[in-house]
Amino acid sequence: MASEEESFAVLVHHRGSIKRKTRSGVKFTDKNPLYIVVNRTTSYDDLVRSVLMKLGLEGAKRIMFLCRRQFPEVRTPELLAKLVDVVSSSGGSNRNTTNVATAAGSSSMAAVASSSVPVYEPAAQLVASPTFAVDLNDGVRDEVGSFDVLPNALHGVPPVGVGDGELGDPNEDDVEPETIEDDSGDEVVAAGPALAGGFGARDAEGNAGLTEFQVGQQFQDKDEALLSVKTYVGKCSEFGNGCTWLIRLSLRKRKGIWEVKRYNGPHTCLATSISSDHRSLDHSVISAFIMPMVRADASVSIKVLLNATAAHFGFRPTYRRVWMAKQKAVGLIYGDWDESYSEIPRWVLGVQLTMPGTVAVLRTSPVRVGGQVDESQAYFHRLFWTFPPCIEAFRHCKPLVSIDGTHLYGKYGGTLLIAIAQDGNSNILPVAFALVEGENAESWTFFLSHLRQHVTPQPGLLVISDRHNGIKSALEAPDGGWLPPSAYRAFCIRHVAANFALTFKGKDARRLLVNAAYAKTEVEFDYWFDILRSENPAMCEWANRNDYSLWTQHHDEGRRFGHMTTNISECVNSILKGVRNLPVASLVKATYGRLAELFVRKGREAEAQVGTGQQFSQHLVKCIEANLKTARCFTVTLYDRDNSEFTVAETTPTGTFSLGTYRVSLASQTCDCGYFQALHFPCQHALACCAYARVSWSSYVHSVYQITSVFNVYWMGFTPPILEGFWPPYDGPTVIPDPNRRRAREGRPRSTRIRTNMDEADPNRPKRCGLCRQPGHTRRCCPQVVGSSQTGRN
């Protein structure tokens, strides 16, 4: 710290241009400075009087200090002052003004204003930044540093720009609009009492705003300025009620940048709790905040994003606004929602060039303008696609296919139809896709006709689906190729149970129906059905409306291979997670990448099992080992040696519905227990017969369970995609989205999912928090809520 006797030199420049901008900072051009000596006891009035006396203008002029420049090597700041005429008693004034630059000793002030004619009210706290800007004739920005020694004359003087911002050249080229608008229509009022209400995140001590602004802060464009201001924006909601937080922006035309011209901060209010929504917290600001979360998982729920936004900003936006923010974030990451439709024709050409044999069928509908068809554009209608590895894989999968649809969650509605197969190791595999307007007879006919033609031409195929009338119409079409004996149909038991629960309430009744459907023998089916009839005869009447072969396992003649559901949820969650939230072009591209990854991973697993000399899949080996443990408790009797027919008596009952004695035919691969013919590998009774006859059980296993078949499913891999720049050109009409499919622009987006009893949570699953969706705690003790409340108390 300097002593009180320490003195400092003051430079006065009074010729022509006062300053010019260089790479090293601001330099003053006057070569004849006027030196004035001050010390720490010099008052502000003494400093002003000394400058005016040296200039010979005492009584005729007054000084307003605007900015300063520091010389780090000598710790001497240089102050820029402006001379203003003193108004005479008659009201006249001298029109001449002079710009003066002075240098005083080390100081932490940015600029000073005359105490005789106060321009700014003194600030109790300086702006928390080492820099600020003051504009003169050429709009140059001055740099400000910090100092250890502060002359008394400069104590308590506010920096320029913290007040009304009226100093500076009248020819200043800044444009300060009354309102600053962004794309969302939200406004940030530029100045004065009409300034828009603002918000700011609070730190652990409860202070509003994680980062303070400073006068002179600059931005490259309007969007950056708006985003920054809206993050710690405008006028505090408690303005005029104990808080003076305020900010003001202006556009500098020559530089094309936005600059903070006025700032009062930090917050002085005591509001700490999460309050209601704020109009300046628009979807653009929320989109920038949630971008990392959406990039990591496009399927992240709106509720999770809403809670994270509220915890960060201190305001809880509406569900609709967060939904719009997510759509914008997805569009920025994965491409524009509208433009993605125009990319589909080129993707079709590109993927067919990448993998010859790829099937992609695009259907469009005409665009009519004023009654005339616009040949340059076409509405997207439907798209079917599948890849050669999927076509080849299905030849080695179980002879059944599950079909179902799932809704799209993006800006435009629609339905993704999926055909799912299963290999001999119980791995699910999507083999075909279609984007359609919704589930109806026409869309299902479009999907199933191409599925039958390109992917599943095998005879005797089983199709597992729900009871949708559109599927029924498509499968029963005479020329569709899905009628028996070419193909058979079966219902997904989860959908059947959900429809049953709409009429008959209660989980117990639904459980009885499901148990009856899973029964592999007629005895077991009758047992559960009798209980159902005793509960309510109307339940049995409802079940009898559908043929037993459609929804029960003991009547399906072994076509199900034990599969009772469509596996659509497992497919979406394990393989296609998040794709429903993407623009259509990114969605179809994602199917290629996800399947390529799946084929590599499962192919390596199968190859490793082949390398170890295994004959069957791991799933089958586990089932056989479990059956062998109980096969030792049986007494086997041979009845027909030629036809390999046996009876097996259980010395100890092995199940709830034990018959005591079972007939087993190895030749026809049947057993009274129903497992042998339903699952197509030996049950525990058949294994006992094989051991008695000293024959290998492996010859009675369906070929789909062989490890070579599993390996062949994933044998054909995917080709690395060709870069989009090398895709063939597309010369057809521009494909655009159908405006009728756009979701509602106002209000909370309407859910397209019809929630039924299938959506009820499994009681054995761990409970999850309703806010952050993480296990281990509830909504009441969620860390987000606890953290926010603790911040408020601090």
**pLDDT at 72 (0 to 100):** 42
50 is a domain residue: yes
Which of 307, 334, 361 is a domain's end point?
A: 334
Tell me, yes or no, whether 253 and 289 share the same domain: no
**pLDDT at 373 (0 to 100):** 92
Helices (H), 283-411: 283-296, 302-313, 319-334, 339-354, 388-394
User: By residue range, what is the domain housing residue 250?
Assistant: 226-263
Contacts of 697-705 with C-beta under 8 Å, sequence gap 24+, read 697/624, 698/615, 698/616, 700/666, 700/669, 701/616, 701/620, 702/424, 704/396, 704/397, 704/398, 704/423, 704/424, 704/680, 705/424, 705/616, 705/617, 705/619, 705/620, 705/680, 705/681
Tell me, yes or no, whether 257 and 312 share the same domain: no
DSSP class of residue 673 equals T
The distance between the two most distant Cα atoms of the chain, rounded to a whole number of Å, is 135
Cβ count near 224 (within 10 Å): 13
Tokens of 468: 């949708």
Measured between alpha carbons, how far is 702 from 708 in angstroms, rounded to an integer? 12
Q: How many structural domains compose the chain?
A: 4
Cβ count near 399 (within 10 Å): 18
SS3 assignment, position 7: strand
SS3 assignment, position 63: strand
Measured between alpha carbons, how far is 229 from 244 in angstroms, rounded to an integer? 16
105 is a domain residue: no
35 is a domain residue: yes
Tell me, yes or no, whether 297 and 249 share the same domain: no
179 is a domain residue: no
- Assess contact for 692 and 707: CB atoms under 8 A: no
Measured between alpha carbons, how far is 686 from 692 in angstroms, rounded to an integer? 10
Interhelix angle for 302-313 vs 283-296, to 10°? 120
Measured between alpha carbons, how far is 516 from 527 in angstroms, rounded to an integer? 8
Tell me, yes or no, whether 35 and 64 share the same domain: yes
**pLDDT at 716 (0 to 100):** 94
- Assess contact for 142 and 134: CB atoms under 8 A: yes
Tell me, yes or no, whether 249 and 323 share the same domain: no
Tell me, yes or no, whether 293 and 237 share the same domain: no
- Residue 311 phi, psi (nearest 5): -65, -30
Measured between alpha carbons, how far is 293 from 300 in angstroms, rounded to an integer? 7
Which of 700, 727, 755 is a domain's end point?
A: 700
Q: CB-side exposure of 719: number of CA atoms within 13 Å? A: 14
pTM recorded for the entire structure: 0.64
**pLDDT at 137 (0 to 100):** 31
Q: CB-side exposure of 227: number of CA atoms within 13 Å? A: 13
- Assess contact for 402 and 431: CB atoms under 8 A: no
**Strands 19-22 and 670-671, how do they pair?**
unpaired
572 is a domain residue: no
- Residue 80 pairs in a beta bridge with 67, 101
- Assess contact for 713 and 343: CB atoms under 8 A: no
**pLDDT at 179 (0 to 100):** 33
Low-confidence ranges of the chain (pLDDT < 70): 1-36, 38, 40, 63-217, 219-234, 237, 251, 253, 269-280, 653-659, 745-766, 770-773, 784-794
160 is a domain residue: no
DSSP class of residue 143 equals P
Tell me, yes or no, whether 622 and 696 share the same domain: yes
pLDDT digits 0-9 by tens, 48-105: 787 777 777 777 777 665 444 444 433 445 566 666 666 544 444 444 444 444 443 3
632 is a domain residue: yes
Tell me, yes or no, whether 257 and 304 share the same domain: no
**pLDDT at 622 (0 to 100):** 94
Tell me, yes or no, whether 234 and 292 share the same domain: no
pLDDT digits 0-9 by tens, 273-306: 444 556 668 888 899 999 999 998 888 889 999 9
Measured between alpha carbons, how far is 258 from 370 in angstroms, rounded to an integer? 44
Tell me, yes or no, whether 292 and 237 share the same domain: no
**CB within 8 Å of 406: residues ≥ 6 apart:** 415, 416, 418, 568, 572, 580
Phi-psi region of 506 (alpha: psi -120 to 50; beta: other; left: phi over 0): left
Tell me, yes or no, whether 287 and 257 share the same domain: no
**pLDDT at 130 (0 to 100):** 29
The DSSP string of 90-104 is TS------EEEEEE-
Tokens of 697: 């059980």
Nearest Cα to 76, choosing from 36, 41, 50, 103?
103
Q: CB-side exposure of 331: number of CA atoms within 13 Å? A: 18
Tell me, yes or no, whether 258 and 318 share the same domain: no
Nearest Cα to 349, choosing from 358, 340, 338?
358
407 is a domain residue: no
Nearest Cα to 450, choosing from 467, 432, 464, 428?
432
- Residue 174 pairs in a beta bridge with 252
